[in-house]
Amino acid sequence: MCKKLPIPDEFIQELKARIIIEDVISSYVRLKKTGRNYMGLCPFHNEKTPSFSVSPENGFFHCFGCGVGGDAITFIRRIENLDYVEAVKLLAGRVGMTVPEDGRDDGMGRLKTRIYEANREAARFYHKQLYTPGGQQALDYLRKRQLSEKTIIHFGLGYSPASRFELVNHLKSKGFSGSEIISANLANQSKKGYPFDRFSDRIMFPIIDLRGNVIAFGGRIMSDIKPKYLNTSDTPVFNKSRNLFALQFAKNKANGQLILVEGYMDVIALHQAGFENAVATLGTALTNEQAMLIKRYCDEVVICYDADEAGQKATQRAIGILRPTGLRVKVLTVPNGKDPDEFIKSYGEQGSARFGMLLEKSGNDIEYRLNKLRSGFNLKSDEQRVEFLNRAAVLMSDIENPVERDIYAAKLSAELNVEKSAFLQIVQRNFRRKENKFKGEEQRRAANELSAVNDRMNTEKRFRLRAASAEEALIAVMILNPDVAIKVVRRVNPELFITSFNRRIYDVLSDRVKNNREITLADISGDFSVDEMNSITRIVISHTRENDPWAAAEKYILMLEDEAQRLTPEQIENSDPEALNEYIKNKLRKMKDKKQ
State the CATH number of the domain containing residue 478.
Answer: 1.10.860.10
Cα 151 → chain centroid = 31
User: Within a domain: residue 454?
Assistant: no
Q: Are 130 and 206 in contact (CB under 8 A)?
A: no
State the CATH number of the domain containing residue 211.
Answer: 3.90.980.10
Quick one: CA dihedral 21, 25, 26, 31, positive or negative?
Answer: negative
- 175 and 231 in a single domain? The answer is yes
Domain of residue 66 covers 9-94
pLDDT for 353 equals: 95
pLDDT for 183 equals: 96
d(CA 11, CA 523): 11
Of 365, 386, 407, the residue at which a domain comes to its end is 365
User: Within a domain: residue 1?
Assistant: no
User: Within a domain: residue 3?
Assistant: no
Quick one: CA dihedral 77, 81, 85, 88, positive or negative?
Answer: negative
Helix %, strand %, coil % of the chain (to 5): 55, 10, 35
d(CA 399, CA 543): 37
**What's the number of domains the chain is made of?**
5
- 488 and 417 in a single domain? The answer is no
Of 333, 365, 397, the residue at which a domain comes to its end is 365
Quick one: CA dihedral 454, 458, 464, 468, positive or negative?
Answer: negative
- 52 and 172 in a single domain? The answer is no
- 383 and 311 in a single domain? The answer is no
- 200 and 283 in a single domain? The answer is no
- What is the 8-class DSSP label of residue 378? -
CA atoms in the 13 A half-sphere facing the CB of 172: 13
Residue 28 has φ and ψ, to the nearest 5°, of -120, -25
User: Within a domain: residue 23?
Assistant: yes
- 112 and 222 in a single domain? The answer is yes
User: Within a domain: residue 405?
Assistant: yes
Q: Are 277 and 250 in contact (CB under 8 A)?
A: yes
Of 389, 419, 447, the residue at which a domain comes to its end is 447
- 89 and 42 in a single domain? The answer is yes
For residue 370, the tally of other CB atoms under 10 A from its CB is: 20
- 418 and 532 in a single domain? The answer is no
d(CA 248, CA 293): 12
d(CA 591, CA 593): 5
State the CATH number of the domain containing residue 50.
Answer: 3.90.580.10
- 274 and 207 in a single domain? The answer is no
d(CA 485, CA 549): 10
- 488 and 542 in a single domain? The answer is yes
pLDDT for 584 equals: 47
- 111 and 200 in a single domain? The answer is yes
Return all residues near 379 (Cβ < 8 A) that are at least 6 apart.
Answer: 385, 388, 416
Using DSSP's 3-state secondary structure scheme, residue 434 falls into helix
By C-alpha distance, which of 264, 306, 256 is closest to 281? 264
User: Degrees (nearest 5) of the Cα angle 396, 402, 406?
Assistant: 70
Q: Are 67 and 533 in contact (CB under 8 A)?
A: no
Q: Are 164 and 196 in contact (CB under 8 A)?
A: yes
pLDDT for 103 equals: 44
pLDDT for 465 equals: 84
User: Within a domain: residue 591?
Assistant: no
User: Within a domain: residue 455?
Assistant: no
Could you give the maximum distance between any two Cα atoms of the chain, in Å? 98
- 134 and 212 in a single domain? The answer is yes
Per-residue pLDDT of the chain (596 residues; tens, 9 = 90+): 454 556 888 899 899 989 999 999 998 888 999 998 999 999 988 877 899 999 998 899 999 888 899 999 999 999 988 889 889 999 999 888 988 875 455 677 789 889 999 999 999 999 999 999 999 999 999 999 999 999 999 999 999 999 999 999 999 999 999 999 999 999 999 988 899 999 999 999 999 998 899 999 999 999 888 889 999 999 999 999 989 999 999 999 999 999 999 999 999 999 999 999 999 999 889 998 899 889 888 989 999 998 888 888 999 999 989 988 888 999 998 888 788 999 999 999 999 999 999 999 998 999 898 988 998 999 889 899 999 999 999 888 888 788 888 998 999 999 998 899 999 889 888 888 877 776 665 556 555 544 444 556 777 887 778 888 899 999 999 999 999 999 999 999 999 998 999 999 999 999 999 999 999 998 999 999 999 999 999 999 888 778 899 999 999 999 998 888 775 555 445 545 565 455 445 554 554 555 45
Using DSSP's 3-state secondary structure scheme, residue 32 falls into strand
User: Within a domain: residue 439?
Assistant: yes
By C-alpha distance, which of 508, 528, 529 is closest to 519? 508
State the CATH number of the domain containing residue 311.
Answer: 3.40.1360.10
